[in-house]
A = this chain, B = another copy of it.
Amino acid sequence: MSDPLRLGIAGLGTVGVGVLKIVRDQADLIAARAGRPVEVTAVSARTRDKDRGVSIDGMAWEDDPVALATRDDVDLFVEVMGGSDGPAKAATEAAIEAGKDVVTANKAMLAIHGQALAEAAEAANVVIRFEAAVAGGIPVIKALTEGLSANRIERVMGVMNGTCNYILTRMEATRQGYNALFEEADKLGYLEADPMLDVGGIDAGHKLALLSSIAFGTRVDFDAVQLEGIQAITLEDIVQARDMGYRIKLLGVAQMTGRGLEQRMMPCLVPAGSPLGQLEGGTNMVVIDGDSVGQIVMRGAGAGEGPTASAVMADVIDIARGIRVSTFGQAASGLRQVRAASSAVPAPYYIRMALLDKPGALAKVATVLGDNGISIHRMRQYDHAETTAPVLIVTHRTTRSALDEAVAGMLRTGVVAGDPVVLRIEEV
């Protein structure tokens, strides 16, 4: 058996504590699988004295994660602090410069600085692995980078923010509105310190940008992800969607089109009976279409101490075994800078709007759609006690740009109150 692999862990929150527990509880199993022991030699966190339910006795303490990352007795730097910049980035860069491999759960840092970090790692001949950054315990980074490496990837799709899926499925189950469930999620500790990371789709967008890079051999381009959060989704949208055989999911889709790479993270209607449509609560699902393999679906817990630590430690064991893979699956210099395509792939759309109670209002809206070349698949107008009447329209396949023009036209008619809700119907 070879020398132990010595970890330095920066961040002792949920994930860091989970990693410490696995190293402690599964030492024999890890040593057998890795072919060498794995041990934690040093840790760093905001607060030293705190009951974390796991002992850090015998491990060196560093207040400064940069100092931790560069210690001589650390072979591998485990970054589980989070935050796209600041200490996480500084310590990661220092680790790379000091010739240490890096395992991180930090989707924000990689989505924003991934290319630079990958290039630095390559120059220093170290690896950066980040299984825990996407879809929690689901080994999807490995599946995409290695398990499906012989495929030209056609599409990557997924529900990758458990908090949003929790809110959406609980809205349906409890018949409560968005605000009530947002508060419930907050009380349960499901929300990030900045809740927009979750409900604004930013966290899930970071994850999608990472998957895109691996899938299509492109430079991570988070800025090109079309982002929409779930804040505008009402209980009525959920009920109406369900009534038509759909469920609403915060769905990420990345695909290469003739016009460039399309990456979108937004609430969509998906068939209720599809695997994505059936996804409940905090569970994540990633769907990968490859030219040879067809469709692969992976499902599992998207967050939590155990699942996330499982992913971190899988990367650690890989490195202990001598598995060394380029950050995004190929040389960083070879990753292409591609054009971003915006909703190049046509789809049917769901539109909900409130019409003012004026004669001919519905006809005006329908005319605008027709003028923009959009045909209507279904339309429903409801009686309401209010002065406006809710109208739902499901269109046939159209482009987002045609739809956006139509919506602008509708607003100009003066019969639409407020902003219409427009949701793509994804054929999964």
| Chain A residues within CB distance 8 Å of chain B | 18, 22, 26, 29-30, 32-35, 131, 137-139, 142-143, 146-152, 217, 275, 290-301, 304, 306-307, 309-314, 316-318, 321-326, 329-331, 334
Chain B residues, CB < 8 A from A323: 146, 323-325
Which partner residue on chain B sits nearest A31 by CB separation? B330
Q: Which of B29, B150, B311, B317 contacts A26 (CB 8 A)?
A: B150
Q: Which of B35, B148, B293 contacts A301 (CB 8 A)?
A: B293
Chain B residues, CB < 8 A from A311: 147, 293
Chain B residues, CB < 8 A from A307: 292-294
Chain B residues, CB < 8 A from A290: 137, 310
- List 7 other contacts, CB 8 Å, given A26-B150, A296-B298: A18-B292, A33-B329, A146-B323, A147-B314, A150-B313, A150-B314, A297-B298
Chain B residues, CB < 8 A from A295: 300-301
Q: Which of B137, B150, B325, B334 contacts A32 (CB 8 A)?
A: B334
Chain B residues, CB < 8 A from A299: 275, 296-299
Report Cα–Cα, A307/B293, bound state, in Å: 4
Report Cα–Cα, A321/B142, bound state, in Å: 14
Report Cα–Cα, A297/B275, bound state, in Å: 11
- The distance from the CB of A284 to the nearest CB of chain B, in whole angstroms, is 10
- The distance from the CB of A317 to the nearest CB of chain B, in whole angstroms, is 5
- The distance from the CB of A22 to the nearest CB of chain B, in whole angstroms, is 5
Which partner residue on chain B sits nearest A145 by CB separation? B33
The SS class assigned to the A binding surface is: mixed
- The distance from the CB of A137 to the nearest CB of chain B, in whole angstroms, is 4
**In contact, A149 and B317 (Cβ under 8 angstroms):** yes
Chain B residues, CB < 8 A from A217: 29, 32-33
Chain B residues, CB < 8 A from A293: 137, 300-301, 306-307, 310-311
- The distance from the CB of A343 to the nearest CB of chain B, in whole angstroms, is 26
Report Cα–Cα, A374/B244, bound state, in Å: 46
Would you list 21 pairs from A and B whose C-beta atoms are within 8 A, ordered by A residue?
A: A22-B150, A30-B150, A33-B149, A33-B330, A35-B330, A137-B293, A139-B147, A142-B146, A146-B317, A148-B314, A149-B317, A149-B318, A275-B275, A290-B310, A294-B301, A294-B307, A296-B300, A297-B297, A297-B299, A322-B324, A323-B323
- The distance from the CB of A125 to the nearest CB of chain B, in whole angstroms, is 13
Report Cα–Cα, A139/B299, bound state, in Å: 13
Chain B residues, CB < 8 A from A329: 33
Chain B residues, CB < 8 A from A275: 275, 299
Q: Which of B22, B291, B297 contacts A292 (CB 8 A)?
A: B22
- The distance from the CB of A40 to the nearest CB of chain B, in whole angstroms, is 14
Which partner residue on chain B sits nearest A330 by CB separation? B32
Report Cα–Cα, A137/B318, bound state, in Å: 22
**In contact, A32 and B306 (Cβ under 8 angstroms):** no
Q: Which of B22, B296, B334 contacts A137 (CB 8 A)?
A: B296
Report Cα–Cα, A138/B143, bound state, in Å: 9
Report Cα–Cα, A35/B217, bound state, in Å: 13
Q: Which of B30, B143, B291 contacts A143 (CB 8 A)?
A: B143
Report Cα–Cα, A324/B321, bound state, in Å: 8
Report Cα–Cα, A298/B148, bound state, in Å: 13
Also in contact, A331 and B146, with CB within 8 A (given A297-B298, A297-B300, A300-B295): no
Report Cα–Cα, A285/B261, bound state, in Å: 30
Report Cα–Cα, A387/B96, bound state, in Å: 80
